[in-house]
């Protein structure tokens, strides 16, 4: 599917948040400037998060309150999963909410099979091509939550 701008990417993510359940993991993959943080902002809004969501590049993880807690992880500054694990980025609290991981390809060896992969292609002012892949059948509920419309 395609989104024309950052607002459309946020709207798509907000619609997907309706399908969210405790313990879900969402991996975001795309080049710098692709819209991963815009997706996280929209998903947070869909969960009812009222705080401003920003990229946690320097703190690695931010936690937000909403219908479900949102754990927003950014692995941009890490080389691999070992660094993330050593840094304590994953813990039992995340089972109560949804974990969104930017630059998830850096955590590929440690990612759970049960997850939604969001692949974002494009950057700058260009439209984005967004591909959703469910890691297990349980995550197909996200695919069903995609709103009908242009680019679907």
Handedness of CA 16, 18, 21, 22 (dihedral sign): positive
* pLDDT value, residue 88: 54
Q: Is residue 59 part of a domain?
A: yes
Domain count, the chain: 1
Q: Is residue 152 part of a domain?
A: no
Q: Is residue 80 part of a domain?
A: yes
* pLDDT value, residue 80: 58
pLDDT, one tens digit for every residue, the chain (152 residues): 999 999 999 999 999 999 999 999 999 999 988 999 999 999 999 999 999 888 766 567 788 999 999 998 887 766 655 555 555 556 556 656 999 998 888 777 777 889 999 999 998 888 999 999 999 999 999 999 998 744 44
Helix (H) or strand (E) holding 84: helix 81-86
Q: Alpha-carbon Rg of the chain, whole angstroms?
A: 14
Q: Is residue 32 part of a domain?
A: yes
């Amino acid at each position: 599917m395609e989104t024309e701008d950052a607002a459309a990417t946020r709207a798509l993510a907000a619609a997907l948040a309706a399908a969210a359940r405790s313990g879900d993991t969402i991996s975001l993959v795309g080049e710098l400037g692709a819209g991963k943080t815009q997706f996280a902002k929209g998903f947070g809004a869909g969960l009812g998060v009222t705080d401003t969501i920003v990229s946690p590049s320097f703190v690695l993880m931010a936690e937000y309150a909403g219908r479900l807690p949102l754990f927003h992880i950014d692995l941009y500054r890490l080389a691999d999963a070992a660094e993330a694990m050593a840094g304590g980025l994953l813990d039992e609290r995340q089972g109560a909410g949804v974990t969104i991981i930017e630059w998830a390809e850096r955590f590929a060896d440690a990612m759970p099979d049960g997850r939604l992969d969001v692949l974002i292609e494009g950057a700058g002012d260009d439209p984005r091509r967004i591909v959703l892949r469910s890691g297990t059948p349980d995550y197909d509920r996200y695919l069903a939550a995609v709103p009908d419309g242009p680019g679907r």
